[in-house]
């Protein structure tokens, strides 16, 4: 499958990994939008949040648990951080393999104010 994040999972494309278990991997974003910008992904290829099934529930919960742990390890748990999941075109999704962005390390600008209908 021609999926860049599957290739990162398999190790055929290099990444700076910060976390890995049997189901999840997390690595530094190649083009960071904040001092801390890490992507947390399931190893299972799920294209978007729309494709998450009921049986994926524990996996999605584990993505957030990993995000929480990584935030602690990166020293931003107390200062704060943002978790982002972009879905499809209007959401700005570029890579169609489910991922959560962990952003922090500085005061992030409010996003809701930027959204115009």
Active site residues: 99
Phi, psi of 20 (to 5 degrees): -160, 135
Cα distance between residue 117 and residue 114, in whole Å:
10
48 binds, options ligand AMP, Zn ion, none, Cβ within 5 to 8 A by partner type: none
Please report, for residues 36, 38, 93, 94, the alpha-carbon distance to residue 89 in angstroms, rounded to integers and kept in the order given: 25, 21, 6, 8
- One residue of 48, 69, 74, 93 binding ligand AMP per CB under 6 A: 93
> Binding to Zn ion by residue 7, rule CB under 5 A?
no
Which residues of this protein are in contact with Zn ion, per CB under 5 A? 3, 5-6, 45, 97
Residues near ligand AMP (CB under 6 A): 4, 13, 15, 29-31, 39, 86, 92-95
């Amino acid at each position: 499958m021609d999926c860049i994040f599957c290739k990162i999972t398999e190790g055929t494309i290099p990444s700076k990994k910060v976390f890995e278990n049997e189901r999840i991997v997390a690595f530094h974003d190649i083009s960071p939008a904040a001092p801390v910008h890490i992507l947390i992904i399931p190893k299972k290829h799920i294209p978007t949040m729309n494709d998450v099934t009921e049986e994926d529930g524990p996996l999605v919960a584990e993505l957030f648990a990993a995000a929480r742990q990584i935030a602690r390890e990166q020293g931003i748990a107390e200062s704060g951080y943002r978790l982002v999941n972009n879905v499809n075109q209007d959401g700005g999704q570029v890579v169609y393999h489910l991922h959560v962005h962990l952003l922090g390390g500085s005061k992030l600008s409010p996003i809701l104010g930027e959204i115009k209908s």
